[in-house]
């Protein structure tokens, strides 16, 4: 018996490996999203994010400088520039038609039609010469190059400085904060009553609330909005606060009641003996002791309302003055979707505030208010 504390179970390795696997499972996609948010759309389409940090071999189709920029050198007309346009790279081979895009080694001259010739150096400098002036569109060069990794902040500046994003941030806050506070207020009272006050039908009431947990909110969108319209709330903040509160309440009451019911009976009974009213017990004893549960529900509700788009578009409307942040980010995606770079970046931008909230509340979760309260 006495050496139990010192024995390590042989299963501990299995536990560690399972934990590591789970962590990896969660972190990997997030990492991929983070890397993608620093790449531009064409890069994302061309190669996977795990290849972002390596030099990659790329086949570039480059259109030579506009014919307006040609210069006359002796009896030759010349177009010149660099195929990397200011970027970096190393040319491995080049070609002059799409049929044979890597026929020539860098530094050699490739003969083209009508006495023209093209030459591309290793550093990307090119020079196309012709016996008579260039006209119309300039010729294309096909370059196979080794390109070093390249990252961009353009996605972030696009998302952060999008038109109306500041307004949308305020709107989201206006929705989120009351929509978190209101249900907690109501649910805390309700949970206390359901946990510690004896009245007929209490068990049925709890069962009804648990039952409400499974009702999908999509079911109630139209009837609720119709109700709002008919009593004159319309599409305003009050409406969305009520809607979010309503949708959040069953879970809140259920969570808090279970937590409060688990509090030691002795404390509450001694308070009763000392002559405390229900309200005093609730305010002075239950509420402080329930802080971890309140905080964890607050985090839940905050994250859910923060990320919500459906309820916001239904109950708040779509005008520029009422658009929440998720709405603006969706607008950035365009009508047809498929902009992965915006999606990845928006994900990280919209994660920021919930992370702050989570870490700020974290300490309440771990403080362990109950320690030492009994005995």
Partner 1 sequence: MTRKLFASAAVLALLGGAAAAQDLKFAPGEDARFHWDSYEALKSVDLKGQTLTVLGPWLGPDKDLVESVIAYFEAATGATVNYSGSNSFEQQIVIDAEAGSPPDVAVFPQPGLAADLAAKGFLRPLGDDTAKWLTDNYAAGESWADLGTYPGKDGAKALYAFPYKADVKSLVWFVPENFEDAGYEVPETLEDLKALTEQIVADGGVPWCIGLGSGAATGWPATDWVEDLMLRINTPADYDAWVKNELKFDDPKVVAAIDEFGWFARNDAFVAGGAGAVASTDFRDSPKGLFASPPQCFMHHQASFIPSFFPEGTVIGQDADFFYFPAYASKDLGQPVLGAGTMFAVMSDNPAAKAFIDFLKTPIAHEVWMAQTGFVTPYKGVNTEVYGDVTLKKMGEILLGASTFRFDGSDLMPGAVGAGIFWTGMIDYTGGKEAAAVGAEIQKTWDTIK
Does the footprint of partner 1 cover residue 284 (CB under 8 A)? no
H or E element at residue 268: helix 265-273
Based on the shown chain and the rule CB under 8 A, indicate whether residue 121 belongs to the binding site for partner 1: no
Query: Which stretch of DSSP H or E encloses residue 126?
Result: strand 125-130
Cβ neighbours for 72, distance < 8 A, ≥ 6 positions apart: 78, 133
Among 314, 324, 343, 344, binds partner 1 (CB under 8 A): 314
Residue among 332, 347, 351, 353 that touches partner 1 (CB under 8 A) = 332
Q: How many CB atoms lie within 10 A of CB 38?
A: 21
- Considering only 56-64, 207-215, 256-264, 277-285, which stretch makes contact with partner 1 by CB under 8 A? 56-64
Measured CA to CA, the distance from residue 330 to residue 172 in angstroms comes to: 14
Q: Is the Cβ of residue 41 or residue 76 nearer to partner 1 in the bound state?
A: 41
Under the criterion CB under 8 A, does residue 60 sit at the interface with partner 1?
Answer: yes
Q: Looking at 86, 335, 352, 359, which residue binds partner 1 (CB under 8 A)? A: 335
Indicate whether 101 belongs to the interface with partner 1 (CB under 8 A): yes
From its phi and psi, is residue 125 left (phi > 0), alpha (psi between -120 and 50) or beta?
beta
Question: Cα separation of 142 and 34, whole Å?
Answer: 32
Nearest-approach distance from CB 264 to partner 1, in angstroms: 41
Q: Does 321 bind partner 1 (CB under 8 A)?
A: yes
Rounded CA-CA distance 271/277 in Å is 8
* Collapsed DSSP state (helix, strand, coil) of residue 286: helix
Closest separation between CB of residue 331 and partner 1, Å?
5
Token pair 């190669």 in the structure block, residue: 47
- To partner 1, the closest distance from the beta carbon of 154 in angstroms equals 11
Strand order across the beta sheet in which 125-130 lies: 71-73, 76-82, 125-130, 117-120, 109-111
What is the 8-class DSSP label of residue 7? P
- When binding is defined by CB under 8 A, the residue of 336, 366, 368, 372 that contacts partner 1 is 336
Using CB under 8 A, pick the residue from 235, 271, 292, 364 that binds partner 1: 235
Should residue 150 be labelled a site residue for partner 1 when binding is judged by CB under 8 A? no
If one asks whether residue 149 binds partner 1 (CB under 8 A), the answer comes out as no
Q: Which positions lie near partner 1, rule CB under 8 A?
A: 40-42, 45, 59-61, 63, 97-99, 101, 137, 140, 142, 163-164, 167, 170, 221-222, 225-226, 228-230, 234-235, 313-314, 317-321, 323, 330-338
């Amino acid at each position: 018996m006495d050496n139990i504390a010192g024995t390590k179970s042989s299963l501990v390795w299995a536990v560690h490996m399972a934990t590591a696997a789970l962590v990896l499972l969660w972190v990997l996609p997030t990492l991929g999203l983070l890397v993608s948010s620093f790449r531009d759309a064409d890069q994302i389409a061309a190669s996977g994010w795990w290849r972002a940090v390596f030099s990659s071999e790329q086949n570039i189709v480059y259109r030579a400088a506009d014919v307006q920029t040609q210069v006359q050198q002796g009896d030759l007309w010349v177009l010149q520039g660099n195929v990397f346009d200011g970027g970096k790279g190393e040319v491995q081979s080049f070609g002059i038609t799409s049929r044979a895009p890597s026929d020539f080694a860098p530094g050699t001259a490739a003969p083209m039609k009508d006495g023209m010739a093209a030459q591309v150096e290793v550093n990307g400098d090119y020079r196309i010469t012709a016996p008579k002036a260039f006209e119309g569109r300039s010729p294309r060069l096909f370059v196979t190059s080794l390109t070093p990794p390249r990252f961009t902040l353009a996605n972030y500046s696009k998302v952060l400085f999008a038109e109306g994003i500041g307004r949308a941030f305020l709107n989201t806050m206006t929705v989120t904060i009351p929509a978190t506070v209101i249900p907690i207020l109501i649910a805390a009272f309700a949970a206390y009553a359901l946990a510690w006050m004896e009245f007929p039908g209490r068990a049925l009431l709890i069962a009804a609330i648990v039952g409400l947990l499974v009702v999908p909110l999509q079911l109630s969108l139209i009837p609720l909005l119709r109700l709002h319209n008919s009593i004159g709330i319309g599409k305003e903040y009050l409406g969305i606060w009520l809607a979010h509160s309503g949708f959040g309440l069953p879970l809140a009451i259920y969570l808090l009641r279970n937590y409060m019911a688990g509090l030691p009976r002795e404390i509450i009974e001694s308070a009763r003996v000392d002559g405390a009213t229900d309200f005093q017990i609730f305010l002075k004893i239950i509420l402080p002791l329930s802080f971890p549960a309140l905080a964890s529900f607050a985090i839940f509700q905050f994250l859910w309302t923060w990320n919500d788009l459906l309820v916001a578009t239904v109950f708040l409307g779509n005008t520029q003055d009422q658009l929440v942040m998720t709405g603006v980010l969706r607008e950035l995606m365009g009508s047809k979707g498929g902009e992965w770079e915006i999606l990845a970046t928006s994900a990280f931008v919209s994660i920021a505030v919930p992370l702050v909230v989570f870490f700020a509340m974290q300490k309440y979760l771990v403080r362990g208010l109950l320690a030492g309260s009994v005995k």
